[in-house]
Amino acid sequence: MSYFTIKRSLFLVPTLSMMKEYKKIDKFMLLLEKSGVAKILKNVNNFDEKCKGPNGYNPYNLFAAIVYCFATSKASLRDIEDRCTYDIRVLYIMEGNVPAFNTIGNYINEYILPYQYEIFTLINKQIIKKLRLDISNVYNDGTKIEANANKYKFVWKPKKFHQNLDKKIKEFIINIGYTIDGKEYIKSSQFYNILIDYVIKNNIDINNIPSGRGCRRTEEQRNYKNAHQYLIKLIEYEEKEEICGPNRECKKIWFFLMLVES
């Protein structure tokens, strides 16, 4: 039985450019069909009085429209509703039905979010199979590869930043009257313990430190605010270095994700 189908019940002008778009959408719908994601959507209640046009909506086509909208733009619920009304490509997918934005939101919350990992896995498996992708090596450290990737899109190991931060923290520790031994990086747990001791000794109420432009803080309060920012950055750098591992600079791993063949 076919679930992701388009009956072409609407009269849409078959211009040459639109026929190319229809073919892409047909491939997209076929990919969803073969992914097996339809079995997750079998229990959808597809009747809704707020759905403009014929009462009710096709739950499979609505799923396809939501995925298509999120894949092609930064869509909000109202944007998806508008595209169901005015975008011929989404009109083609929805066959003229226009669910209200709150209907779309309820659909996402009830039928997509609870099964998001299963849906993601099924669709990815079908993409990998369809495009014959080699996924023997995959990034596991948050690196994002894009068509127009540059050095700011790559997750770098924060070696230099960590060195600079460590120097600032050690100078700060000495300035507030503490001592620290060793040439190794100071750990976030060590710095946290020093900061807590400093707060206790100077009786700093960390929940009532003045904030905002023009406010007056004591020297101890200013020291705490600066140290707190250092601590947050230190935890971030330690986490990135742990994820990247010792040989991060030598890795060359790629993962490509495409919805349909162009």
Please report the pLDDT score of residue 134 as a whole number.
73
Q: Which residues contact 24 (CB under 8 A, 6 or more apart)?
A: 260, 262
When mean pLDDT is compared across 39-43, 55-59, 92-96, 230-234, the lowest value belongs to 55-59
| d(C-alpha 229, C-alpha 237), whole Å | 13
Q: What's the pLDDT tens digit per position in 92-101?
A: 888 888 888 8
Q: Which residues contact 198 (CB under 8 A, 6 or more apart)?
A: 176, 178, 204, 220, 223, 224, 227
What would the mean pLDDT of 29-56 be, rounded to a whole number?
70
What would the mean pLDDT of 251-258 be, rounded to a whole number?
34
CA 120 to each of CA 37, 41, 125: distance values in angstroms, whole numbers, following the listed order: 9, 14, 9
pLDDT(214) > 80: no
Q: What's the pLDDT tens digit per position in 103-156?
A: 898 888 888 888 888 888 898 888 888 888 777 666 555 555 555 555 555 556
Confidence of residue 230 (pLDDT cuts 50, 70, 90): very high
When mean pLDDT is compared across 8-12, 66-70, 133-137, 207-211, the lowest value belongs to 8-12
When mean pLDDT is compared across 59-73, 205-219, 223-237, the lowest value belongs to 205-219
- CB of 34 closer than 8 Å to CB of 44: no
Please report the pLDDT score of residue 260 as a whole number.
40
The strand ranges marked E within the chain are none
What tokens appear for 172 in the block?
Answer: 């700060």
| Residue 52 bridge partners (DSSP) | 98
What would the mean pLDDT of 234-246 be, rounded to a whole number?
81
When mean pLDDT is compared across 23-32, 67-76, 138-147, 213-222, the lowest value belongs to 138-147
